[in-house]
A and B are shown apart, each in its own frame.
Chain A
């Protein structure tokens, strides 16, 4: 009879990776928006932000789908709490990119002098951190195969360390950006000031969340 076949549940890990793929699409869209601002090409931005919202919504739907189809009786190699935490951290990156896209759309055109080379570098470093975390999630198949140990775990551990290091670099850049920003602050209108302060924080949060995600994977690893 098919008892043994019934024993094997549907693995939620490839949906998890799928969700991360969608989060990656959001981040990619955000990069496009950023590019347009860099090129002072403001007409397209609104359309791009709408697209980003749509992508974020899709990621949300995927997340809810995974959550709702995760029966309590499913036994995973990591705890269900750990799994759901991974999912929610992943999803918060999509939320943040939507938020940043919105803020970028709103920021007054005459305040673009805040948009310095340092700021751009800061932004790029944050996204780099995300792509590192994305790469780690891609490794999940191999992690499962090696049951979270051995050379595969060592490799992922190195990736986690790299992500953490990039997060640190992003933090250093954030300090630099803030310094430049507050030098300009007196020349900005209160609303622009508020907007840019928020934008810096939100962009910085991408690397924070990515590092958090990487660290969570790092905690699953079986390293002696």
Chain B
């Protein structure tokens, strides 16, 4: 009994450390861009991230956690000797923590998810042999690692292309975005509601049919649309477009420029007196057209795009929240899944009647770990990222984040542990492919693929070593 208590505390501590690590390092993916573009202040970003990460972990964390708990290594394989299973889970957590420390020291783009899955497989092989692992599940997880960044990229590409066509390429971008922003806000909130409700929220005992969820999602979206419409109307925007129509300056300018062209032609062919006359007319028209240009704000026209970005910063906050929620839902399992498995094994000492679902308090525990990680270290990373990624302006940021968030949340619902970082990288590439960004470093993609290949066997081997070490010390 003594040993079990020690084990339990150890597992909880390492699990908490993992959650802390996720909060410290990965939350920046969601919030960094919003801070960088100035849509959110650092303080607000941290509060919002804390609330939504916790909500995501608490409400939707169970699906992926259950995969981690019993979807990778088959617990029934260890029925005769549950201590092996407990030690295995502890080794997996320890190996992942060590690997992550090493990776962040060298600055490798390593995914927590990949590391923990690799470690669990490593334990499964040495602890119970090849048959102890659900290879089919591993196959679908590996497939989801490939598909999820690509899917995020495609989503973001489509979203940004729509923004291009509807807003950036519009004749009056400000007007166009004033119209589009409330609609998009409605769509974001609808998909958000839909993705939470579909399939039910077990922790809150909410079970709705697909039709009911759809209805509720539509209602939420509609309400958001109305609220956003009022908010957008209240933002005062100096519209150069209106000024144009009022004085019809553009038409005047256009005609004046035309006459200038013709006069210049006349000036070229004319001789002596006529030439002088024409050039004086030319001069006075030039002055007139210059003064008109000033009035029309022709040169300041690009400030329209600034207004567009200002309007979209509202949407970027929403999409960042969405990512934070999705991140909490998917990544809490990295810490909590193995802990839940180990605790169950300790509690029952036999693995028959456990593994029904992850206890709610454990999800909350993981959520708290993430929030503490964010509060103690994560804010620094958010600040750094915010300073580095100023390129992801609200229109770009929204496209990238929304595309990634949808993918991550769908994967979470399906119980697939994926890497949120890789999804966001895919999304940013998608926006880049749509000509949205000025320079992307494709070497990062190669590094990611490389780290992918290295992380899984490394974590597996590290886990095997730790497992042997612990079994040598602790009598099983």
Contacts and interface: CB of A to CB of B under 8 A. Distances in A.
A196 interface: no
Given A1-B26, A3-B421, A4-B425, A148 B305 contact: no
Interface string B301-319: 1101100000000000000
B171 A151 contact: yes
B83 to A, nearest CB: 35
B264 A149 contact: no
B171 A3 contact: no
Contact of B268 (A71, A169, A224): A169
B74 interface: no
Given A4-B425, A152-B305, A11 B438 contact: yes
A173 B268 CA distance: 9
Given A77-B437, A150-B168, A5 B389 contact: yes
A149 B168 contact: yes
Given A2-B384, A142-B305, A165-B261, A10 B439 contact: yes
B428 A7 contact: yes
Contacts of B3: none
Contacts of A147: 164, 168, 434-436
Interface in A137-182: 141-142, 144-153, 155, 165, 169, 172-173
A222 interface: yes
Contact of B444 (A7, A151, A165): A7
A11 B388 CA distance: 13
B389 A9 contact: no
Q: Which of A76, A77, A144 has the most CB of B within 10 A?
A: A77
B421 A1 contact: yes
Given A2-B384, A8-B388, A77 B435 contact: yes
A13 interface: yes
Contact of B438 (A6, A77, A165): A77
A9 B393 CA distance: 15
Contact of A155 (B109, B301, B424, B444): B301
A73 interface: yes
Contacts, number: 131
A5 B439 contact: no
Majority DSSP secondary structure for residues of B touching A = helix
B441 A74 contact: yes
Nearest to B254: A158
Interface in A1-49: 1-13
B170 interface: yes
Given A9-B440, A9-B441, A151-B171, A4 B305 contact: no
Contact of B425 (A3, A11, A153, A172): A3
Nearest to A13: B438
B435 A145 contact: no
A205 to B, nearest CB: 21
Nearest to B298: A155
Contacts of B448: 3
A136 to B, nearest CB: 14
B62 interface: no
A75 interface: yes
Contact of B170 (A8, A150, A165, A169): A150
A150 B444 contact: no
A4 B440 contact: no
B357 to A, nearest CB: 31
Interface in B30-78: 32-33
B432 interface: yes
Nearest to B33: A4
B11 interface: no
Contacts of A7: 425, 428-429, 440-441, 444
Contacts of B305: 142, 145-146, 152
B442 A73 contact: yes
A153 B164 CA distance: 13
B186 to A, nearest CB: 24
A9 B439 contact: yes
A153 B301 CA distance: 12
Contact of B441 (A6, A141, A150): A6
A102 B70 CA distance: 81
Contacts of A75: 429, 432, 439-442
Nearest to A14: B438
Contact of B388 (A2, A13, A76, A150): A2
Interface in A64-106: 71, 73-77
A46 B236 CA distance: 58
Interface in B270-319: 301-302, 304-305
Nearest to A154: B171
B26 to A, nearest CB: 7
B169 interface: yes
B139 interface: no
Nearest to A148: B435
24 contacts: A1-B104, A1-B381, A2-B385, A4-B32, A4-B425, A5-B32, A7-B441, A7-B444, A8-B388, A9-B440, A9-B441, A73-B442, A73-B443, A74-B440, A74-B441, A75-B432, A75-B442, A76-B438, A77-B436, A146-B169, A149-B169, A150-B173, A151-B173, A151-B301
3 residue pairs, one from A and one from B, having the closest CB atoms: A9-B441, A5-B388, A3-B109
Given A3-B425, A4-B389, A8-B428, 20 more contacts: A1-B421, A2-B388, A3-B109, A4-B28, A4-B32, A4-B385, A5-B385, A6-B441, A8-B389, A9-B441, A13-B438, A74-B440, A74-B442, A142-B302, A147-B164, A147-B435, A151-B301, A152-B301, A152-B302, A222-B435
Interface of B: 25-26, 28-29, 32-33, 103-104, 107, 109-110, 164, 168-173, 261, 264, 268, 301-302, 304-305, 381, 384-385, 388-389, 391-393, 421, 424-425, 428-429, 432, 434-444, 446-448
Interface of A: 1-13, 71, 73-77, 141-142, 144-153, 155, 165, 169, 172-173, 222, 224
